[in-house]
Amino acid sequence: MVGKRPPGRRPRRGRAPHLTSPLPPIRRAALAAALALLACNQGPAPPPAKLLVVASFYPLYEFARQVAGPFARVVSLVPPGVEPHDWEPSPQDLTRIRDARVFIYN
């Protein structure tokens, strides 16, 4: 019984089914060309906009500036020389707070 196959089994011919592609060669070439064009570099990307951080007064402003470094634009709401207890926010200050990605206050 050596060399006999079980009934209903035939030897494989040609490639295995998982190695054949369902796409015809012309479509494979078009797909490869499209992918090659997509992979082409379009030049350097523009630098990302700096993160806006608003701090309520100077110590928090300085802390945020030291932590964020060159990656953020840090703004203090209380101007230099003004006592934080005497300062009142203006409409422009409220707009800055609204537009900020980070607001640090105490």
Joined together, the tokens standing for residue 53 give 């951080």
Minimum mean pLDDT range among 30-39, 41-50, 75-84: 41-50
User: What are the structural domains of the chain?
Assistant: 51-104 (3.40.50.1980)
* Predicted local confidence at residue 78, as pLDDT: 94
Predicted TM-score (pTM) of this structure? 0.55
pLDDT tens profile 64-100: 999 999 999 999 999 989 999 999 999 999 999 999 9
The terminus-to-terminus CA distance of the chain in angstroms comes to 89
Eight-state DSSP code of residue 19: G
* Predicted local confidence at residue 1, as pLDDT: 56
Highest mean pLDDT out of 4-8, 30-34, 42-46, 88-92: 88-92
Does residue 5 surpass a pLDDT of 70?
Answer: no
What value does the mean pLDDT take over residues 27-34? Answer: 83
Query: Of residues 24 and 27, which shows the higher confidence score?
Result: 27
